[in-house]
A and B are shown apart, each in its own frame.
Chain A
Amino acid sequence: MAKREYSYYPGCSSQDGASSSNLKRSIDTMCEVLDVKLNEIPDWNCCSASIGYGSGGVLPRMALSARNIALSEQHNAGQDIVATCAACWLATKEAAERFKEDENFFQEANTALAEANLKMTNQTPIRHMCEVLIEDIGYEALSEGVKKPLEGIKIAGYVGCQTNRPFGIAGESFENPMYLDKMVDSLGAEAIPTYEKKVQCCGGALAFSEPERSQEMIKGIIEAAYDNGADMIATPCPLCQANVEIYQDQINERFGTKFEMPVVYYSQLIDVAYGRSAEDAALDGQIIKAKKLDDIAAK
């Protein structure tokens, strides 16, 4: 039996053939090596992220999260809900908090849920995978399992927005969180704690609707990584990863830059440091290859 079990909310972008399917694959490998069992919430739905508000009012949006919470209570009773996507985590946690603060609102959500033959008590903690790593496993244990230290790789830890605000990780600052750097250090790579763009917004969903404005912000995030001598950027957020990686060609065209900066997930770093293959770490999902990680994985 696995040492730890959680109720897993992977989210839309993690599905096969979706933009962060590589995150899910690397998380699956990571959980194998860390002896963590993830029980996917059966029939989970979209959380409507932080862009659904144009058409969805407060109650409809939060009813979406209520459904996931209810399904988790029903099928994965007693297990903390763990999300790997920043927006999924934020939306679910925010809904759970509002249901707790406002009894009427909680009742209304349950009235809506009854239409889908569901009911929630809302007692489940809503957590981010990074919290599991930091609070349940810990940096020391993480470091003990390293088989191939990521020596010689300098990594800019890009925490982004929604993994960090408004909830963030307990004990960490909103303005200068250090946990990603500590993770990087635990794996034998070199962190850049003074990477000044670590919590800069990448534009989020506005990368689609306001591409020019967003790409200007993304440019700054990549530029600062180069200025700090980084070999790659690592992030916990699927939208940060995609936005910062996949538009580099367009940014180069727009601004005359020559960016070719790999952007990976913390889970991919762990997979490789724990001796797993490039494929297990989903490094084949990179648009910009993370060569230094590929090399260590091939050793």
Chain B
Amino acid sequence: MSDMNTAMVEKYRNDFLKEVEANVEEGQWVKMCMQCGVCSGSCPLGNAWAHPPQEIFMMIRAGKRDEVLKSDSMWMCTSCYNCIVRCPRELPITHIMHGLATYSKRLGLAPKTQPTSQFSEIFWNNMMKRGRVNELKLGLSLYFKDGFGQGIKNALANQKLGMSMMKAKRMSPAEFFGGHGIKDASGLQKMIKKAEEIELAKLKANT
């Protein structure tokens, strides 16, 4: 467990709702949920969530901190925004789910081998290197995330797809050696570092 997690537990003790309101993206909306269940019913992967959004909202209010933050539920969000446009009280549900995912990862509570959590991290690191996504390396990192042997297996299973993409000029082996990027990657990295500092300072002020 991270120091920040310990500090947050210490500070909010029995009030997980308050913790979410203060630290999670759009968390101030959680208390407005009226438990109608439209979000859960509208979610295209609803059946894959251990706890669909409606339940997550209730669990937050019931103080089920570990059950929520260690859950892989939020990582099932496909960002389709069905729940947002259908919520009778217009809660920004998609953003809250993203926010809970970000927060759980920051505190070191997110399940370590959850594939979307891993993919999200791979995507971010890939994009940060040169300021643009390198699709070829993104695909390869995902194939090889569980080791070399599994990576070769995955690559072989997707070989036909890769060949047709290359034939259609929608995948390029040249991307392996550098590839696309922005000119001012160092400026962008400095900018992101600053943004992270600002955000982290706010979280720390809450501990």
Contact = CB atoms under 8 A, between A and B. Distances in A.
Interface of A: 12-13, 15-22, 43-46, 48-60, 63-64, 67, 108-109, 111-118, 161-162, 165-166, 174, 200-201, 203-206, 208-210, 213-214, 217, 242, 246-247, 249-250, 284-287
Contacts of A19: 135, 165, 170-171
B194 A51 contact: no
Interface in B70-115: 76, 78-82, 84-86, 94, 98-99, 101-102, 105-106, 110, 115
Given A22-B168, A206-B45, A13 B133 contact: yes
Nearest to B127: A46
B79 A12 contact: no
Given A54-B120, A108-B198, A284-B168, A13 B192 contact: no
Interface stretch (B12-20, B29-37, B59-67, B182-190): B182-190
Given A18-B172, A246-B165, A174 B85 contact: yes
B45 A213 contact: yes
Nearest to B190: A115
Contacts of A63: 191-192, 194-195
B4 interface: no
13 contacts: A17-B172, A21-B169, A22-B169, A46-B132, A55-B121, A63-B191, A64-B192, A112-B198, A115-B191, A116-B187, A210-B45, A213-B45, A286-B168
A89 B110 CA distance: 29
A117 B194 CA distance: 13
B191 A112 contact: yes
Interface in B149-197: 160-161, 164-165, 168-172, 174-175, 180, 182-184, 187-188, 190-196
B123 interface: yes
Interface residues of B, number: 64
Contacts, number: 213
Interface of B: 25, 44-45, 48, 76, 78-82, 84-86, 94, 98-99, 101-102, 105-106, 110, 115-121, 123-125, 127, 131-133, 135, 139, 142, 160-161, 164-165, 168-172, 174-175, 180, 182-184, 187-188, 190-196, 198-199
B78 A203 contact: yes
A258 to B, nearest CB: 16
Contact of B123 (A49, A217, A247): A49
Which of B45, B85, B123, B161 neighbours the largest number of chain A CB atoms within 10 Å of its CB?
A: B123
B198 A111 contact: yes
A161 B79 contact: yes
B42 to A, nearest CB: 10
B99 A58 contact: yes
Contacts of A246: 161, 164-165
A57 B78 CA distance: 18
A249 B161 contact: yes
A40 B188 CA distance: 18
B169 A60 contact: no
Nearest to A116: B187
Contacts of B187: 115-118
A82 to B, nearest CB: 19
A54 B194 contact: no
Nearest to A19: B170
B183 A43 contact: yes
B124 A54 contact: yes
A46 B180 CA distance: 11
A242 B105 CA distance: 29
B171 to A, nearest CB: 7
Contacts of A60: 192, 195-196, 199
Contacts of B115: 209-210
Given A57-B199, A58-B25, 8 more contacts: A13-B135, A18-B170, A48-B123, A165-B85, A166-B85, A206-B78, A209-B115, A286-B168
